[in-house]
Structure 1
Amino acid sequence: MFITIIFMMDYSQAQSSKNEDHTNFIINADFETGNLSGWNHWKTRSAVITEDAFSGKYAVKIGPERGFCIQETKVKSNSLYRISAYVKTTSGAEEVQLVVSDFGGPEKSVSSAKTEYTRVSLDFQTAYSTDKLLISLTHPSGNGFGFADQIELQYLGEAPEPTIQEFVKIPERILKEEDGVAQLPNDKMKWFLDDKFGMFIHWGVYAAMDEGAEWVRHQEAWGHEYYQRRARNPQKGFTASKFDANEWAALAKKAGMKYMALTTRHHDGYALFDSKHPFSWTSQKDLGRDFIKEYTDAVRASGLHVGMYYSPMSWRYPGYYDVTGKDVKPNVWGYKTAAWHKEDARDMKEEVYEQVTTLFTNYGKIDYMFWDGGWLGQSINPELEKRFWDPGYFQNPNNEWPIDKKYITKDDATGKALGIMGLVRKYQPDLIVNERFSWVGDVHAEEGVSATTGDIRFEHYGEKCVSLQKGGWGYRPNREIFSFEEVAVYLSNCVVRNINLLLNVAPDREGVIPQNQQEVLLKTGNWLSKVGNAVYGTRGGPWQPLFGEYGFTFKENKIYCHIYEGYRDLNTNTFTTQSLGSKKVSKVTNLMDGKELKWSKNKDKSITISDVDYTLNSATTILEITLTESVFK
């Protein structure tokens, strides 16, 4: 199979200029150094140099299973480009992808599954405010390998000027159904779409491990006994001696956050609640405390929406890497295929069902669940994931990994055993969940520090999760963090696209959120106390955003213009909107100081706003346009 996804655009202006070879912007574009120099991005793994090349002596080989080879490089801003590579795979059932991102537009990719070297290419446009590009060569899954060679980057010319936009047409949301469960309707999604800003909290025994964050056990390839011993050390281990959930909730409120999501269990399998499964490892057993009970009580009392994070995968089980007992996946612990792994994987699944049922029944109403880690063996195989987990409404009675009847909940009407989403709808019918547990999800999770780009998300609601700490989601001592200005841009970039921002904090082993993280949150809350009308309860629009320059939100008869440092006319102290059509403006205000601003109407039905003070918050200036009628009648 051969799949090609290419972004099409108008190249009339570009074709009038001579194409320039910018391949020299890429370090080691042909891999002829014989090593991965230039490609040592933090995401790069499962990539090695091979002599099976398209031309020259060397190429890169990626795999098996999920692997990356990634490089960030320079490009010209406001420009049209074409990138190409020669790629192949060892099996026509797999693929290798050429991906570009972080250039100010939505991520774009082209892929091939051919077993002979084939040239693939794609075209993209860099934003006016960015001069970087992230190039990824990816082998998404499978036991074979992907190969890539001869990366080429061509400059096609300057990008055309943006055209004046009319109001967007907002499509009707069509609810998707998968495995017998439909997405929640808009009325049950409203609170989430209105709240916009939440606190993510990664906290567990890994907070006591200075060598790394939440992936430290995997990163260091530690065995469970050693990891557990470190966690239980009464002096240097995970003590939670200063944990106060009320303080966390109070901080979230001061930061302008409207909901919270705490890691009830991460990939190391340590649960912050009282699990009754015999193989469980919990805070109740180690410290005599149910932290999730303390947390949910505090969040609910504060008036914030209660969210949780739960990872079904667990490194404590070798069977996680070999659920069939016949095909062990690559792993840092050196596990080899063994028949007993299938039963071990069944135990892992059984623990998940017990713990998920416990979370749904013991802690009152839960508003949001961030699933994470529904894949198996840290590879991607949707068909196997569905067979294994039974993520839909009902379990398959012939499932190869049946759970004990004591951990089964039956449907009242049919007597059938409920699957994961069946448990959700029975015990928490209004619970919003993401897509990371082999079900389509009510919201789509966008993870990582890359800027949010692209158009407004109408079809599938989204949430961006970013860690305030640079490098890792769990606590690491003396780590740099993002500034308030950077957080403001993250949040604004999200809301103009109908996306929430879930901003992560990392408490230490005693349960204290570091002071520098608290300070940024308080600055953010102070800013939101002035500009919150442009965030809470809004929707993205009525015009599409332009990355790095501006975006818009609206509600009722208000349009909010979010203007960034990259806006091309910033030095004029003016801002020009898109076409207002027949809509009439009554006034324009700078939300930071409440000052009413002058404006004039243009022939193209836009307006130009004068005397804008961009120094009040240089990162994100927000102007409020008040119309004489609703934005959308």
Structure 2
Amino acid sequence: MNTHGKMFTTLIALMLLGGSVGVADEKTDAAAGQHSEIGIAQAGGAKSGRLVPAGGRWFPKAGLGLFVHYGLASVGGHQDLSWAMMKDCPWNKGNSGVMTPNDYYAMAKRFKAEHFDPERWLKAAKDAGFAYAVMTTRHHEGFALWPSKYGDFNTSNYMNGRDLVKEYVEACRATGMKVGFYYSSPDWYFSRKYRSWGYGTKGTPESPHLDMNHQPIAKLPAKPADCDQQMADYVNGQLHELLTNYGPIDYLWFDGGIRGALSTDDIRKLQPNIIINDRQHGDDGDVITRYYEAGHLPDKRPPYPLWEHCFSMVGAWGYTSPPRVRPRSMLTARLARVRCWGGNVLANFGPQPDGDMPPEYYTFMKTMQSWMSWAGPAVIDVDPGPYPQQCSVPVTTRDGTWYAFVLPETKEAQIKLTGVKTPSQVTMLRTGRKLTAAIHGDHVIIDVPADAREKGTVEVIAIQW
């Protein structure tokens, strides 16, 4: 392993322990820096009074989605997808895993996906309670996972025309997963000659732009007058392919924006029932994601009917070697916090270079399946609960039953209910153990004894009247 590989491995290990995502610490605002670089819509806030579109009524019930980042960086195993080409990012001050764009793009010749088997890893996720999937069809790096007629950097040029997107869509349908496409409107390969590969460079002697070998250059080449229009035509051509070649698509997950991209109305003419996130179209998107990425969880209930928290379960967004997976408690605790306020969690994993998921993924999904076998009724097809107004811990509701979550970090588990009568029955879902509820002044208090809890497990308490 080279020095950069060792540094990157160390960084990922620290990130997994410290709760960070990407080549960045969640405690630093990496998401904001990345959003600025790729032009994510920065409108003041999505319309809170909007209605859920008819085609999106499945989304609030779903609860949990599988995010899949797959691209050229998996070949190296020590690089963050796309961002590995960008030098001196503020969230990666040591430039761990960074490589020149020329070296990065050369990995396309070694990207084979010889064991790409989405049905296998989607079935494991479906069995573990995941309801939808979102896979990168093209990340900022610019390599498209289908044989696009637009551009010259896709599977038609490097994989004999193999269509990984088609295989993924067929696998979603075979496993009963809703189909989501991730698509980056910005394409760094398209703009590779006209951009600096140093983050935030100013083109001054103190802050020179960097070329594709990370060498300083005095001035960036001038873009052709019609470059932006060419970019828009190229992006819209690829979007048209994605929206017309694969049957009904449930969810379009943009990441970044450009001028001239298809509008939401244009997209719905091609896919009437699709839902769209907010990262290209801002307030015109259906699903609000841009405020709730990585370490950013809301501190109050968001005012949007559809919102989603995405973060990575594997440290970086794509595959890294050796593979790791964060503990189940991290995902289940975030799921509890997000579902109690009506959102979904989109949890990311990255396939190996050959296209299969690492063994650690399947082991994790088995543990998640075990938790969902008893906790599923508290997070799937539920309504948001009255937290914190009437319940001191995160809570969801369904058909008059409240599902209260006791997180592992809760030292003394005591649930305080306000403005309710005494429950007729209080039950721990994992064990079936009955708990007592007592009135103390204006509150109902439910004690969850320490010996009733399992270490590292998000416990769920069903409260009935």
Q: What is the TM-score with the length of structure 1 in the denominator? A: 0.59
Q: Distance in 2 between matches of 1:371 and 1:538?
A: 27
Task: Tell me if 1:608 matches 2:446.
Answer: yes
Instruction: Please report how far the alpha carbon of residue 614 of structure 1 lies from its aligned counterpart in structure 2 after TM superposition.
Output: 4.4
> Does structure 1 conserve the Cα–Cα contact (< 8 Å) formed by 2:422 and 2:437?
no
- 2:85 maps to which of 211, 217, 221: 217
Q: Which has the higher helix share?
A: 2
Cα separation, partners in 2 of 1:540 and 1:342, compared to 1, 3 Å: farther
Aligned with residue 241 of structure 2, among 355, 358, 370: 358
CA distance in 1, matches of 2:99, 2:188: 10
Change (3 A) 1:533 1:228: same
Kept after mapping to 1: 8 A contact 2:27/2:295: no
Q: CA RMSD in A?
A: 3.4
Residue 380 of structure 2 aligns with an amino acid whose one-letter code is Y
Per-residue displacement from partner, 1:372-397 (whole Å, max 9, x unpaired)? 021xxxxxxxxxx5xx225xxxxxxx
**3-state SS of paired residue (2:425):** strand
- Report matched runs for 1:159-558 at 5 Å: 174-175=49-50, 185=52, 187-214=54-81, 215-219=83-87, 220=98, 222-224=100-102, 226-232=103-109, 237-277=110-150, 279-288=151-160, 289-318=162-191, 332-333=210-211, 336-374=219-257, 385=258, 388-390=259-261, 419-440=262-283, 441-445=285-289, 446=291, 448-450=293-295, 452-459=297-304, 461-470=306-315, 472-544=316-388, 550-558=393-401
Partner of 2:405: 562
1:247 shift after superposition: 0.6
More divergent stretch after superposition (515-524 vs 294-303): 515-524
Change (3 A) 1:431 1:545: farther
Residues 141/482 of structure 1: CA separation in 2 closer, same or farther (3 Å cut): closer
- Find the residue that maps to 1:267 and give its secondary structure: coil
- Structure 1 contact 274–283 (Cα < 8 Å) conserved: yes
What amino acid does structure 2 have at the position aligned with 1:389? Answer: G
| Matched position secondary structure for 2:357 | coil
Distance 2:439 2:138 in 1: 55
- Alpha-carbon displacement from aligned partner over 1:293-345 (angstroms, at most 9, x marks no partner): 0110110121111111000111113379679xxxx977543673444344333
Paired with 1:587 and 1:427, the residues of 2 have a C-alpha distance of 50
Q: Which secondary structure does the structure 1 equivalent of 2:434 belong to?
A: strand
Alpha-carbon distance in structure 1 between the residues aligned to 2:333 and 2:404: 13
Supply the distance in 2 between the matched residues of 1:135 and 1:563 (Cα, whole angstroms).
28
Give the deviation of 1:607 after TM superposition: 3.6
**Partner of residue 417, structure 2:** 578
* CA distance in 2: counterparts of 1:473 and 1:610, whole angstroms: 37
Secondary structure (helix, strand or coil) at the match of 1:593 reads coil
Q: Deviations over 1:571-595 (max 9, x none)?
A: xxxx2322143x5522111011122
> Which deviates more from structure 2 when the two are superposed, residues 295-304 or residues 205-214?
205-214
Is contact 1:318-1:345 (8 Å) kept? no
> Residue 206 of structure 1 contacts residue 213 of structure 1 at CA under 8 Å; is this kept in 2?
yes
- Post-superposition CA distance 1:244-275 (Å, at most 9, x none): 12112211112210100100000111111121
- Residue matched to 1:592: 430
Equivalent residue letter for 1:475? Y
Deviation at 1:534, TM superposition (A): 0.5
Q: List alignment gaps of at least 5 residues for structure 2.
A: 1-10, 12-19, 21-25, 38-46, 88-97, 204-208
Equivalent pair of 1:578/1:606 in contact (CA under 8 Å)? yes
| CA distance in 2 between partners of 1:282 and 1:558 (Å) | 50
Question: Does the Cα contact within 8 Å between 1:360 and 1:366 map onto a contact in 2?
Answer: yes
Higher strand fraction (1 or 2)? 1
Distance 1:451 1:344 in 2: 35
Counterpart AA for 1:367:
D
- Asked if the contact 2:121–2:362 (Cα under 8 Å) also holds between the matched residues in 1, the reply is no
Contact 2:390 2:417 in 1 (8 A): no
When residues 136 and 306 of structure 1 are mapped into structure 2, their CA distance, relative to the original with a 3 A threshold, is closer
Could you tell me which runs of 5 or more consecutive residues in structure 1 were left unpaired when the two chains were aligned.
1-41, 43-101, 103-132, 143-171, 176-183, 375-384, 391-418, 628-633
Deviation at 1:546, TM superposition (A): 11
Verify the 8 A CA contact 1:563 1:622 in the aligned structure 2: yes
- TM-score after normalising by structure 2: 0.78
CA gap 1:525/1:201 in 2 versus in 1, 3 angstroms:
same
Amino acid in structure 2 at the alignment position of 1:615: R
Q: Percent identity?
A: 27
Aligned-partner Cα distance in 1 for 2:225–2:389:
49
Please tell me the residue identity of whatever aligns with 2:59.
F
Deviations 1:583-623 (A, max 9, x none): 55221110111222222233304243454754235441110
Does the 8 A contact of 1:543 with 1:551 survive in 2? yes
| Number of aligned residue pairs | 407
Quick one: which amino acid aligns to residue 564 of structure 1?
A: L
1:528 is displaced (CA, Å) by 0.8
The residue number in structure 2 matching 1:60 is: none
Indicate how the Cα distance of structure 1 residues 502 and 343 shifts in structure 2: closer, same or farther if over 3 A, else same: same
Q: State how far apart, in whole Å, the 2-side matches of 1:494 and 1:355 are.
A: 33
SS of the counterpart of 1:207?
helix
Q: Say whether the 8 Å CA contact 2:61–2:381 is kept in structure 1.
A: yes
Does the C-alpha gap of structure 1 residues 270 and 255 become closer, same or farther in structure 2, counting only changes over 3 Å? same
Gap change, CA 1:580 and 1:508, over 3 Å in 2: same
Seen in structure 2, the aligned counterparts of structure 1 residues 509 and 141 have a Cα distance that, compared at 3 Å, is closer
Change (3 A) 1:141 1:316: closer
**1:545–1:551 Cα contact (<8 Å) kept:** no
Change in Cα spacing, 1:455 to 1:594, as seen in structure 2 (3 Å) is: same
Question: Structure 1 residues 269, 304: closer, same or farther in 2, change over 3 A?
Answer: same
Asked if structure 2 preserves the Cα contact closer than 8 Å seen for 1:317 and 1:344, the reply is no
Following TM superposition, by how much is the alpha carbon of 1:461 offset from its aligned partner in structure 2, in angstroms? 2.8
Q: Structure 1, residues 483-502: CA drift from partner, whole Å, max 9, x if none?
A: 11222212222212222111
The answer to whether the 8 Å contact 1:198/1:257 transfers is: yes
Letter in 2 for 1:473: W
Instruction: Give the deviation of 1:186 after TM superposition.
Output: 5.5
Contact 1:589/1:595 (<8 A) preserved = yes
For residues 131 and 255 of structure 2, what CA distance do their matches in structure 1 show? Answer: 21
Higher relative contact order (CA 8 A, sep 6+): 2
User: Deviation of residue 136 (structure 1)?
Assistant: 6.7
